[in-house]
Amino acid sequence: MTMPIPNRPVILTGDRPTGPLHLGHYVGSLKNRVSLQTSHRQFLLVADCQALTDNAHDPDKVRHNVLEVVLDYLAVGIDPALTTICLQSSLPALAELTQLYLNLVTVARLERNPTVKAEIALRGFGRDIPAGFLCYPVAQAADITAFKAEVVPVGEDQVPMIEQTVEIVRRINRQVGRQVLPEPRALIPTVGRLPGIDGKAKMSKSQGNAIGLSASSEDIRAAVHAMYTDPGHLRVADPGQVEGNAVFTYLDAFGDRQEVAALKARYRQGGLGDMVVKRRLEEILQELIAPFRERRRHLADDPVFVLNILRRGTETAREVTDAVLDDVRRSFGVFTFV
């Protein structure tokens, strides 16, 4: 059972269960969540409904990844006594709020949403966008408000989603004449996005450039060995470039700041070989990932235990979201049985 901590700001975040999480997720969000869970009332939403907006042809993939994502959360140190882990599709209030909010947003406004525009282009939907995909900013507004979330950690590119939520919140509060819902604010991570091991902008399992959170010792070794460095750095004695050099970007993300500064200086000067730097990065990653992998293996042996964490979290979340739905509906003036 999650312990409610009074007077801590509510934070909502989560992931689409479309594959196991990787080091990019760890740097971009999971690590933060582990520290935020003590200072905030944190809800983690396994967003299977949202995953279906562009995976309706393959619901099996989404279903199979639900417990995988929960395993990843627990493996990196999310504590179910501090964080409520819950399943989107088992929270009917989210669909009900979505349906209500869809009446408050025009189609033109959704089509103007920069995040939706970018993602439509990325997925090559053209005119054949699933309606659910066009509407997902509204569904996200439902998610955020259903928990009365005040803080939502998102990447820079997702800020328009929070703006859409704020618009809906203002519309409702204005029409009702009191502050039924808080206006959420975006929490943008200060660390940059972790590139793939090939140096490409985004680590992604489908690109084959990711290191999984439960990567084996051999996988880590192979990944670091294959990692993109400075293509102009041919001999150890040559000066090397650290900018755009994936090994150093990873060292920045995972290493000790002073040690990394010293390594960078030597590399730039010449005389520090790629193999030496890679060996150091490998050590650091092995040390980071080993406990994740062990915990994950241990937990994966007891799926009922993991399922029960998700079930109990979802029950807690259901109470919270049902209460908010009831409040919004009554205030807005939807018929309610007494």
Task: Choose which of 82, 102, 187, 222 interacts with a copy of itself (CB under 8 A).
Answer: 102
Instruction: Specify whether the CB–CB gap between 299 and 68 falls below 8 A.
Output: no
Residue 213 CB contacts under 8 Å (≥ 6 apart), including other chains: 20, 21, 22, 23, 25, 26, 30, 72, 75, 76, 289, 292, 293, 296
Beta bridge partners of 15: 46
DSSP character at residue 237: T
- Name the amino acid, one letter, at 215: A
Instruction: Specify whether the CB–CB gap between 149 and 42 falls below 8 A.
Output: no
Q: Which is nearer to a copy of itself, 1 or 56 (CB)?
A: 56
Binding mask 136-175 for a copy of itself (x = CB under 8 A): --xx-----------------------------------x
Report the relative pairing of strands 151-153 and 185-187 from DSSP bridges. parallel
- Name the amino acid, one letter, at 320: V
For residues 235 and 276, give the distance between their C-alpha atoms in angstroms, rounded to a whole number.
13
Nearest approach in angstroms of CB 99 to a copy of itself is 4
Residues in the chain, overall count: 338
Task: Choose which of 21, 66, 141, 272 interacts with a copy of itself (CB under 8 A).
Answer: 66
Nearest approach in angstroms of CB 306 to a copy of itself is 12
Q: How many residues bind a copy of itself (CB under 8 A)?
A: 52
Alpha helices in 180-302 (DSSP H): 217-225, 246-254, 257-269, 274-300
Binding mask 306-335 for a copy of itself (x = CB under 8 A): -x---x--x--------------x--xxxx
For residues 96 and 4, give the distance between their C-alpha atoms in angstroms, rounded to a whole number.
25
Task: Choose which of 73, 133, 248, 292 interacts with a copy of itself (CB under 8 A).
Answer: 133
Binding mask 267-306 for a copy of itself (x = CB under 8 A): ----------------------------------------
Q: Tell me the CA distances in angstroms from 76 to 72, 152, 173, 281, one per residue in order.
A: 6, 20, 38, 19
Nearest approach in angstroms of CB 64 to a copy of itself is 9
Q: Which is nearer to a copy of itself, 103 or 190 (CB)?
A: 103
Alpha helices in 159-256 (DSSP H): 159-176, 217-225, 246-254
Contacts to a copy of itself from residues 173-232, by CB under 8 A: 175
Indicate whether 100 belongs to the interface with a copy of itself (CB under 8 A).
yes
Q: Which is nearer to a copy of itself, 2 or 88 (CB)?
A: 88
Task: Choose which of 105, 141, 224, 227 interacts with a copy of itself (CB under 8 A).
Answer: 105
For residues 232 and 235, give the distance between their C-alpha atoms in angstroms, rounded to a whole number.
9
For residues 5 and 41, give the distance between their C-alpha atoms in angstroms, rounded to a whole number.
6
Q: Other CB atoms closer than 10 Å to residue 336's CB: what's the count?
A: 8
Indicate whether 1 belongs to the interface with a copy of itself (CB under 8 A).
no
Q: Which is nearer to a copy of itself, 172 or 215 (CB)?
A: 172
Indicate whether 135 belongs to the interface with a copy of itself (CB under 8 A).
yes
Q: Which is nearer to a copy of itself, 102 or 276 (CB)?
A: 102
Binding mask 46-65 for a copy of itself (x = CB under 8 A): --xx--xxx-xx-xx-xx--
Q: Where on the chain is the footprint of a copy of itself (CB under 8 A)?
A: 48-49, 52-54, 56-57, 59-60, 62-63, 66, 87, 89-90, 92-93, 95-96, 98-100, 102-108, 110, 127-135, 138-139, 175, 307, 311, 314, 329, 332-337
